[in-house]
Amino acid sequence: MESRFKVLRHPAHPILIVYPLGLLSTATVFDVIHLFNESARLADAAYWMIVAGVLSGLLAAVPGWIDWFAIPVGTRARQVGLWHGVGNVLVLALFAVSGFLRSGSPQAPPTFAVLLSIAGTALVFFTGWLGGELIHRLGVSVDDGANLDAPNSLSGRPAAESAVGAGRRGT
């Protein structure tokens, strides 16, 4: 299915997700370095990256949400999209709480705030993989002729094969 929310004829969601991914993952790198050298500058930079990352994540979610509602109910793509979206809401929540906990003193974040950032970054590896599965395997936002029921990319089966049909054939 083709994206319903486009910018200059390209799907907006894949364009926008690079901002929160880059900002939030860099914030986590700065947090980890801060744990070892207690750099107030890196901790402060991490805080502002979290603020910008959460805001840009909310912005990126809008076209993703619109595109998800256009995926036909009952397809594998709809289910994968649900897990992708819910997981990313959790990622943003982890970072938002992390940002809140450090807002009083961004240069000296509590260890728990840093742990929340690390947890958010760990979760984004899974949700990012799901996003890749949606676009590269299932063709969501790419092609109106996409196979929205393609089997999981880890299955070793071709994307052209229907997961539902494969189950009926006993493979």
| pLDDT score of 145 | 66
Q: Which residues contact 69 (CB under 8 A, 6 or more apart)?
A: 4
CA distance 25 to 22: 5
H or E element in which residue 161 lies: none
Q: pLDDT tens digit string along 26-55?
A: 999 999 999 999 999 999 999 999 999 999
pLDDT in the model for residue 163: 52
Q: What is the pLDDT of residue 166?
A: 47
Q: Give the per-residue pLDDT at 162.
A: 63
Residue 94 structure tokens: 């982890």
158 vs 168: CA distance, rounded Å:
16
Residue 70 belongs to a domain: yes
Total count of domains within the chain = 1
Cα end-to-end span (Å), the chain: 26
- Residue ranges in 38-144 assigned as alpha helix (H): 40-70, 76-102, 111-132
**pLDDT band of 164, cuts 50, 70, 90:** low
Per the structure, the complete domain to which residue 148 belongs is given by 6-169
Tell whether 1 is covered by a domain: no
Give the pLDDT confidence of 40-95 residue by residue, as tens digits. Answer: 999 999 999 999 999 999 999 999 999 999 899 999 999 999 999 999 999 999 99
pLDDT in the model for residue 9: 78
Would 54 be classed as within a structural domain? yes
Q: How confident is the model at residue 167 (pLDDT cuts 50, 70, 90)?
A: very low
**Residue 76: CA atoms inside 13 Å, Cβ hemisphere, count?**
22
Residue 51 lies in a domain: yes
With a cut of 50, say whether residue 170 has pLDDT above it: no
The CATH number covering residue 103 comes to 1.20.120
Instruction: Kindly tell me if the per-residue pLDDT of 141 is higher than 60.
Output: yes
Is there a domain that residue 11 lies in? yes
